Structure 1
């Protein structure tokens, strides 16, 4: 196959061939890989009675094109032995003629709680050749029926006193001794907690996860984590111990009459003689949390009160340490009985990957500030744990203060402390809280810490990477890597926080800036599935009445707000607190749609359809004459937020331009909701929302359009974007409004971005969809204020909260401006979803001058498999290296200006379309070099 350009006629025949050469037909069956259940790799403790299976396909041989899955067969067995013998005694799907690789719903025999199930899959290809079986995988069920949860909630009798400057609750130790007649073949312990927990068996810590469980709305729900403790047990005497950490148990909005304001746990384990017990087999012994357990205060305590600017840290008193507290040999005669509670919470499985330690961080310098005071530079801003070897006066206290600013001892009240025992030596280590910053000021030590004495780790939800990106522009590489690093540091506890140091809230408005960046760079299907459950949990409750910084958050009746219209939403989930506006609650419409497009998963649309319907109905109650009206308190009707110079210009709650922006966003919500309704067969709702979107578009256009300069309201970039993305601009004006937006970016703002969190996310969404990579690249290339390059020039190692450099109270690790993270993959690398789940996708190299961007190398583990898009331009010639995964189809869009003409090859490449200025080629799966 010869690829020609006018400038290459003499050389193209020599080496510009499609590589590898076609050769002879090869029998090359596919192999299923990357097996997952509910987006998780071999989960333990799954409480879905009909879980869904997913896989991707791997070529058995290279040089083969057009491979497809035409059928699949799934086997599920009650033991590995049966599975290895190809016996699906729980489910044999038999051969299903289908190309589907994701969300295959289990249709076998009813599953039982606390059982391990093994599965594998085989597929047929386009030639009807059968693959080998995939590797064997498993999942372990949790508690499938509420009545099977037999554990009692237990904890300490000491409850939180909110009047204290620092938390008054010692983190409690809980333990239970018991005997076993034999070493069990299976023992999985299910541990639910309000507050964090760690599990120990016979003195050994179980697992490497940290700060369990995931953050959850504790007015309604508690989550459990399941631990396989079989290998930790002995015949005879054993002890199980739980260490509770206060953390979210005292979060203000979770205070309810029925639940104690203290950390609590409920746990149970059944011991079976067999490794894979049959459903009818009963355990030979069991352990449940109940009144027979004992408790004692541990040496650790929360510093702070788990509140905005008071997240604090941890206090460790080495004088109270008893290293053997969780062993069989330890005598607990002087321990007191636990207190039993009845919090009335729904108990459900973790559902998302746990937190783990990542990226060990070593300090770069230690500087003496004054006598016994030293400042450590960790080299980068991060959220996570530290371990520091300390020496000091016996009985005295050393303080460790986190700061995002070099000249400040502490920012946002983040501090931990260590009280020395009689040795005067010890190591402070995090356990139930984390710090966030770059500098650590250590006070009260008698010896200067050495670099080797100090370590740090990023802590985050343990999702896997899904993308790589690099390019010829060093600034773009910096932005991409810094956006990713920032996103990772925001994802603790199964949701995305605004900032890890000040608030730790799951803002819906900020999610616009982060969710597509997350989906295009990481495997976050489980995380966003869980976060949408959080939004369902908090629905029907207002967020804030009055000033968000009042001590009691000015809530009516209870901390978690009044239950008003069933569709009203707080601005954060599962955390309730915080300010926002229609674009904050509106994430419950847009996030499920983005998720569906990314993963091809209709379940998220169906599960959240009532939530979407109720939210839009709530907005209707605040609509007059087709205009969404200002509603709520001072912090409840924000539009765009934190645009350049926003602090000086003030809040935008009551401004006409803000009313315009929020109405455009509401129309955008309606248009997306109509697509959702249409996709799941809700035709009546789809029709209603389309009609409303059209009617409201007409009203808002007439109310806010400025004929003189074809702008809206104040002429801001945010309102121009809102009008275009909402499709609220009449056809006759679309071209003019686009020109006005271009002028706003290139001329008035001299190539700079001039929007904030929500406006910026919508701007990037619009320009990505319209393939205006040129405008996005212009804004992402500026090194002066405002822009990402300005942050780089000012020494940033994470993305800031505001465009400004150093405003008081300004977070330097924040969710505000992470939206470029998606653009690098679907814009500069040009990998764009076409059919949900990437069974068909677009590859479109951007039209950016080679003098600005000469090459990009990117890889993306899509839900359909691995996609590679490497392109370069040299001497006016476009070069491509592409990989299209089996069972997928790529639409390669090449601009005529690139002069690249690809010959058709039957069954492999065909010209699908010639449009104005470009040619679209349809590429079957395979590896290509053009």
Structure 2
């Protein structure tokens, strides 16, 4: 039962390289066999050497239960320096831990003056950006006593970095996608092991990426700039403390090679006959290569990479190879995914292998690409001959399940192709399962949809000519996203781009990073400026993120307030409405719910969240201002959209759900409105009709107001329209449309019909929070105070969720046994408490591991609340068994 400190983190990451945060935050976890473990004090030491002989920060013993995101408060940090840290703690049993394992973080370039390199670009007479990719190189020498080598690099475009022929790391599509004119990320590479004595070479491939390639379905090409460029500096540090810097300057050379074209949407053309095998190694004869020139191409402030980059996360072998009725050789990966195909070829020089990618087959079983619109998603590989050749894309990614191969027979293609799955390398934190296999597949589809669309930014879809950071999709899905993966660094970076692209009047783009042709300021979309940072605060307790985004949040609410002639209503401007709802007339994609009702409802919601943020940050004046504003908006909503008798004037599922979810009705009118919602659903044959706006809240509202069994029936419904309909049709990700593929195999439409579109996957939040019952108490955000309240419904006999919080693992699992017996397993991590609700429990029957609850260690309080028993418990794993009382 010893007390241990483990899983040391700095800014959510283990031993991060290249932070530019001057006060990085430290987190740790505790372990002990004892129940009810709470930290009572901690001590942190930080030093520039691993022995801690001369700490630069020693907190001494601090009486505190804080163990998550504790900010460094020591001496000013220096650039390019590794800092070691360790922690020891004391607990409520008066035990003292040993020092934790030593962890570290390493700073990047903290001041702009630290940059000694110059931006360089290939020196071309023709200003038109060529299709072929740029190759840049530089040779240098290193002495024998090298102790450290770091490269700091970024690009206008995307880049791949090599040192002596080896990739500098396993990241892809660096430097990622930010609002380039305002913020440009750079990466830090530890290349110490790649440097050799004497002669060395750096090689860099430069592609268009998001910077200079196609963006969106309109004229987004060259949106940020029309010149690819590189900024790089290498610091070589020797045993005597001396240092040499190799930097991008006019001494570099540039050329071209085998990669003749690469676009994110369209794929690549690679002519292996043009390979120059040693172009990134020392001694290469760069005959015919050009000089480079210095460039002052417009770019934003340089910022260190905040979270993890995009990487190859998984590799999948094709499930089958077949020939379609049209004679196409097709690989079925068995999973709709985002990434690329790696393949091995052995053929004659000049032979072209064409690899196309698609999500679905048509009703006849043929390869279907019409829903890609102008995105080609095609790889052309021209063989060099002379043996086996291996290729995978470098600066392109595809959304696909099916792969059409031209140039090989099915027999020749067998065993030669592997699917590489790409996404931002987020830590997987959540898992959900139940007794229903189709519901489990739905959860898998939700996770795969998130993986495919959380690639640098939260995209709407990963396959067609769009792939943009739509704010509406992000805010609808953000709570689900935070269960499945640790998305705090991912959204912290994206929210900084949102604030950077926010207009002076507070207006917010529909996509972030901003593409102007996508528009601005729709309700529910632009409300991401408030909803996402507040959700990050709830899920991670990250007050700094809330502080960083607060002015953006406030500006958005003030923008709405300034619209129209009534500061308490939002009845002007463009709004998407309940996008892809099923209750609109004809092909109306906005649904039947009044757009002004939706806009005013979200105005109230965002204003209320802003008031809560002000309270969390100690902004008492703003708290009063926005709490009062929220009250006034609620009154205006009722005047405008609720009849004098208390009926919502727009009788749609979404209107009812928003009015109830956002507490916009008088208390006395809420039960009747919930009844109307339930009646509306029943009268439609227990079918949902909601779109992007109403769907995330529908089941939550039903559960909250006593219609949990109806919520379960909606969630478990197999027939169209439902979440499980697509599962019965073989979907492996979430569809954009409830009926993307109809029962006869035909498609809803071609031009806007993504089969990897996560918005409707927001039901995952309800699965975690209601079915399994894991939630966080807003008074103890980040799961410092946990709520475990599973709510049982018809159709399931068991369910379980596991969530890896910043404090440790949280688990909630329930099983309906024979008769009226039930068991609930709960795991609560150290340094937290949990409020556990045992549903419909007979108090006298409750046993925990065979003991009556008054004898159980770790149980702090017991209450009966209506039909449930509520316990407050400390850390540990508990097994409760009890008799259920019928309602």
Give the TM-score taking structure 1 as reference length: 0.87
1:128 aligns to what?
94
Give the CA deviation at 1:374.
1.8
- Deviation readout 1:713-767 (Å, 9 max, x if unpaired): 431111111111222101221111111122223x123332221112212335545
- Alpha-carbon spacing, 1:907–1:150, altered in 2? closer, same or farther (3 Å): same
Find the aligned partners of 1:436 and 1:249 in 2 and give their Cα distance.
20
| 8 Å Cα contact 1:203-1:327 kept in structure 2 | yes
Write the deviation string for residues 315-365 of structure 1: whole angstroms up to 9, x where unpaired.
Answer: 111121111110113112431112321124211111010111122111122
Q: 1:73 and 2:43 equivalent? A: yes
CA contact (8 A) 2:569 2:637 kept: no
Equivalent residue, structure 1, for 2:19 = 46
Does residue 610 (structure 1) correspond to residue 551 (structure 2)? The answer is yes
Matches within 5 A, 1:587-602: 587-602=528-543
Greater Cα offset, 900-909 or 320-329: 900-909
Structure 1 segment 560-575 matched on structure 2, within 5 A: 565-575=504-514
Secondary structure of the residue aligned to 2:456 is coil
- Does 1:204 find its partner at 2:166? yes
SS in 2 for 1:328: coil
Aligned partner of 1:896 in structure 2 is: 840
Which of the pair has the greater relative contact order for Cα pairs under 8 Å at 6+ separation?
A: 1
Distance 2:695 2:764 in 1: 13
2:228 corresponds to 1:291: no
Offset at residue 911 of structure 1 (A): 3.3
Distance 1:724 1:348 in 2: 42
1:480 aligns with 2:443: yes
CA contact (8 A) 2:214 2:221 kept: no
Asked if 2 retains the 8 angstrom alpha-carbon contact of 1:520 and 1:822, the reply is yes
Hey, what's the Cα distance between the residues in 2 that align with 1:152 and 1:258?
Answer: 23
Matched, 1:882 2:826: yes
| 1:504 Cα offset (Å) | 1.3
Q: Give the conservation status (yes or no) of the 8 Å contact 1:303–1:415.
A: no
Residues 736-745 or 900-909, more deviating? 900-909
Matches within 5 A, 1:225-374: 225-251=187-213, 260-274=225-239, 283-303=242-262, 311-342=265-296, 343-368=298-323, 373-374=328-329
- 8 Å Cα contact 1:473/1:853 also seen in 2: yes
The separation in 1 between residues aligned to 2:304 and 2:196, in whole angstroms, is: 27
**Separation in 2 of the partners of 1:584 and 1:437?**
27
Aligned 8 A contact 2:564 2:570 in 1: yes
2:104 to 117, 138, 160: 138
Indicate whether 1:464 and 2:436 are aligned: no
In structure 1, the residue matched to 2:885 is none
The answer on whether the counterparts of 1:391 and 1:446 sit within 8 Å (CA) in structure 2 is: no
> Does structure 1 conserve the Cα–Cα contact (< 8 Å) formed by 2:593 and 2:654?
no
Cross-structure match for 1:378: 333
* Cα deviation code 1:144-172 (max 9, x no counterpart): 0111112211223469999xxxx843111
Distance 1:473 1:257 in 2: 48
- Change beyond 3 A, Cα 1:735–1:768: closer
The residue that corresponds to 2:627 in the other structure is 690
Question: Is the CA contact (8 Å cut-off) linking 1:155 and 1:172 kept in structure 2?
Answer: no
Q: 1:647 to 1:49 in 2, by over 3 A?
A: farther
Q: Secondary structure at the match of 1:927?
A: strand
For residues 179 and 811 of structure 2, the distance between their equivalents in structure 1, rounded to whole angstroms, comes to: 40
Q: Deviations over 1:649-675 (max 9, x none)?
A: 41439x771111111111111111111
Q: How far does residue 907 in structure 1 lie from its aligned partner after superposition?
A: 6.3
Q: 1:703 to 1:526 in 2, by over 3 A?
A: same
Question: Matches of 2:290 and 2:664 in 1, distance apart?
Answer: 67
CA separation of 1:812/1:495 partners in 2, compared to 1, >3 Å: closer, same or farther?
Answer: closer
Given the superposition, is the C-alpha separation of residues 648 and 248 from structure 1 closer, same or farther in structure 2, using an over 3 Å criterion? same
Secondary structure in structure 1 of the residue aligned to 2:831 = strand
Segments of structure 1 that go 5 or more residues without pairing to the other structure are 1-27, 541-564
Q: 1:41 Cα deviation (Å)? A: 1.5
In structure 2, the partner of 1:740 is 676
Encode CA deviations 1:828-864: one digit per residue, 9 max, x unaligned. 1111111212121111221324xx2111232211122
User: Which residue does 1:562 correspond to in 2?
Assistant: none
Task: Look up the SS of the partner of 2:193 in the other structure.
Answer: helix
1:110 pairs with one of 73, 76, 82: 76
Within the candidate set 677, 685, 689, 1:750 is matched to 685
CA 1:320/1:603 → structure 2, altered by over 3 Å: closer, same or farther? same
Structure-1 separation of matches of 2:811 and 2:6: 18
1:918, distance to aligned residue in structure 2 (A): 1.9
Contact 1:773-1:828 at 8 Å conserved across structures: no
| Other-structure match for 2:883 | none
Residue of structure 1 equivalent to 2:609:
672
The number of residue pairs the alignment matches comes to 849
Separation of aligned partners in 2, 1:836 and 1:775: 30
Question: What CA distance in whole angstroms lies between the structure 2 residues aligned with 1:858 and 1:69?
Answer: 26
Task: Provide the rounded CA distance (Å) in 2 between the counterparts of 1:349 and 1:159.
Answer: 33
Deviation (angstroms), 1:582: 1.4
Decide which moves more: 135-144 or 248-257: 248-257
TM-aligned CA deviation for residue 644 of structure 1: 2.4
Per the alignment, in what secondary structure is the counterpart of residue 447 of structure 2?
helix
Q: Given that residues 235 and 245 in structure 2 are in contact (C-alpha distance below 8 angstroms), is that contact kept between their aligned partners in structure 1?
A: yes
Deviations 1:224-246 (Å, cap 9, x if unpaired)?
11110111112211111111221
Aligned-partner Cα distance in 2 for 1:398–1:595: 46
CA contact (8 A) 2:769 2:790 kept: no
Residues 376 and 887 (structure 1), Cα distance of their counterparts in 2 relative to 1, 3 Å cut: same
**Are the structure 2 counterparts of residues 928 and 131 from structure 1 closer, same or farther at C-alpha, using a change threshold of 3 Å?**
same
TM-score, normalization: structure 2? Answer: 0.91
Alignment check: 8 A CA contact 2:80 2:106 kept: yes
Corresponding position: 1:491 with 2:454: yes
- Please give the root-mean-square deviation of Cα atoms over the aligned residues, in Å: 2.6
- Is the contact between residue 391 and residue 447 of structure 1 (CA under 8 Å) also seen in structure 2? no
The SS at the match of 2:511 is coil
